Amino acid sequence: MFFVYIFWISAGYLAGSLPTAYLVAKKFKNMDIRSFGSGNVGATNLGRLMGRRWAVFVSVVDMLKGGVPVTMANLAGCDNLLVSLVAIAAVLGHNYPVWLNFKGGKGVATTYGTMFFVFPWISFVAVPAAGLVWYLTLRISGYVSLASILSLFSMSVLFLALGSPLALGGAAFSLAVLSSWRHRSNLVRIASGKEEKIKGGR
């Protein structure tokens, strides 16, 4: 049992650690994304460098790299606790990839990808609903970071409200807390009025 847990958690971490935005910027711009904009290795910062289409592409890949190991763990018959740990490991891989000296992104897209597949059909409702919270918050505030944090916390509430196993609801809440920690500098800038808004936000 111990080695089964080690295998799946390691698989989740390694899948999540694929530095998508870094590789795209390096391949098509010959540039280290960490030296541009916020320095973050994620879709939002890549969008500033290469445009919205590339940001969407990276977001989708980042979702899949979290969703695939979780789906495989479910298909292999892993219990809910192990599936939740695989989900967390995938996001940790994105945030702290071994390939980039453990300096990665903020894990929002990867969190969506992992949580979408953890517990059908509840996750098929909770995650899109959280995505709607993200969209509405972004439209109203213009802050990607605020939208991300609020949507992930709403996701954890929805998981528990819809009756998901406690381990999976706990995973959603843990990932929301992790995202808040990764966005702490953004929150400070929002409080001081220095955070950049995206176009389309009020």
User: Is 200 a residue whose pLDDT tops 50?
Assistant: no
Q: How confident is the model at residue 170 (pLDDT cuts 50, 70, 90)?
A: very high
Identify which of 16, 15, 34, 14 has the alpha carbon closest to the alpha carbon of residue 26: 34
CA-CA distance, 123 to 103, in Å (whole number)? 29
Confidence at 198, pLDDT banded by 50, 70, 90? confident
Tokens of 124: 């098929």
Half-sphere exposure of 89 (CA within 13 A, CB side): 21
**Which residue stretches of the chain are H helix?**
2-16, 20-29, 43-50, 52-75, 80-95, 108-116, 122-141, 144-161, 166-182, 184-192
Is residue 121 reached through a cis peptide bond, with omega within 30 degrees of 0 on the bond before it? Answer: yes
- Neighbour count for residue 69 (Cβ, 10 Å): 28
Across the range 58-84, mean pLDDT stands at 96
Backbone dihedral angles phi then psi of residue 102, each to the nearest 5 degrees: 65, 25
How large is the greatest C-alpha to C-alpha distance in the chain, in angstroms? Answer: 52
Whether 184 has a pLDDT exceeding 70, the answer reads yes
Q: Residue 199 pLDDT > 60, yes or no?
A: no
This prediction's pTM: 0.92
